[in-house]
Amino acid sequence: MTAVHVLGSGSRGNCIALSCEGETLLIDAGFSARETERRAVAAGVALETVVGIAVTHEHADHCAGVPLLARRLGVPVLTAAGTWAAIGGDCSPVTVHRTLSLSACVEIGPFRVHAVPSTHDAAEPLVLAVHCSDGERVGVAHDLGRPTAGIRFLLRDLSAIVLEANHDEIRLRTCGYPVSVQERIASSTGHLSNRAAAALLGEICHEGLGLVVLAHLSEKSNDPEEALRAIMPALARARFGGALHVAAQHLPLPALPVKSPARQLALRLA
């Protein structure tokens, strides 16, 4: 069974462990290697099962622990060529790089990793969709900027999605950030608001979507209750029948099983 382990998510670090058939794919590693290891132990994730680290972009809250973890675990880094160069990985003869792009998915262990570009203000940022060998599909959309047609296409027909709901638009303007920071966050190269996340979820929700995790919440311009108030009505209108969780910055979430309701029904009827 596929399971999602959110080890932490927010402006101070992001890391997801996706497990299937006894193997694990890390998606982003924005904590130090030591902190990632500590959180993995707390979440019951065995790092010796990691087969690779997929990286959405090079900002520190998504890649701080990547170089050391990849060397320590002896696993490849899966990311766009521009991100690999920005991390400085192309200078390392030790770590193997496998290129992700719109035209290049990567198979590793029980995972097939697909990617499309996002509009975030990084070298070559990606949104990911991981197809697992048990048939489940998990999307990870961090630091989204704006949902393009390509992103909407990638995120269709998922079993689970981890989606940023970074800020409340009113709180962003009143939280004390400098105007320049407010403008960056709210721009098409910044972060997805609660309202924009709700609209996207309402659009891509379908009967097979069994899990939604709201991630990358700002500690200054958002909170879990605010995000849920904005997003739950959109999911209700779309007749979402799965589980909804909010990721925290400081503590891992419990293991979240990925179960597509439509697939489970088909298995029962078979």
Average pLDDT over the chain, rounded to whole? Answer: 94
pLDDT tens per residue, range 220-237: 999 999 999 999 999 999
pLDDT at 269 over 50: no
pLDDT tens per residue, range 191-211: 999 999 999 999 999 999 999
pLDDT tens per residue, range 243-258: 999 999 999 999 999 9
pLDDT at 268 over 70: no
pLDDT tens per residue, range 175-196: 999 999 999 999 999 999 999 9
Tokens 């990286």 sit at which residue? Answer: 55
User: Domain-by-domain residue ranges, the chain?
Assistant: 3-258
Could you please report the per-residue DSSP string of the chain?
Answer: --EEEEEE-STT--EEEEEETTEEEEEEE-S-HHHHHHHHHHHT--GGGEEEEE-S--SHHHHTTHHHHHHHHT--EEE-HHHHHHHTGGG-SSS-EEE-BTTB-EEETTEEEEEEE--SSSSS-EEEEEEETTS-EEEEE-S-SS--HHHHHHTTT-SEEEEE--B-HHHHHHS---HHHHHHHHSTTS--BHHHHHHHHHHH--TT--EEEEE---TTT--HHHHHHHHHHHHHHTT--SEEEE--SSSPPPPEE---HHHHHHHHH-
pLDDT at 110 over 70: yes
Between CA 191 and CA 120 the distance in angstroms is 7
pLDDT tens per residue, range 78-89: 999 999 999 988
pLDDT of residue 263: 58
Mean pLDDT of 44-57: 97
Predicted TM-score (pTM) of the model is 0.94
pLDDT of residue 93: 75
Please list, in sequence order, all residues whose beta carbon lies within 8 angstroms of the beta carbon of residue 189, skipping any fewer than 6 positions away: 119, 120, 121, 145
Q: What is the Rg, in whole angstroms, of the alpha carbon atoms belonging to the chain?
A: 17
Between CA 213 and CA 257 the distance in angstroms is 12
Report the CATH superfamily, name and number, of domain 3-258: Ribonuclease Z/Hydroxyacylglutathione hydrolase-like (3.60.15.10)
As given in the structure block, the two tokens for residue 194 are 């609660």
pLDDT at 113 over 70: yes
264 falls in which pLDDT band (50, 70, 90)?
low
pLDDT at 90 over 80: no
pLDDT tens per residue, range 116-173: 999 999 999 999 999 999 999 999 999 998 999 999 999 999 999 999 999 999 999 9
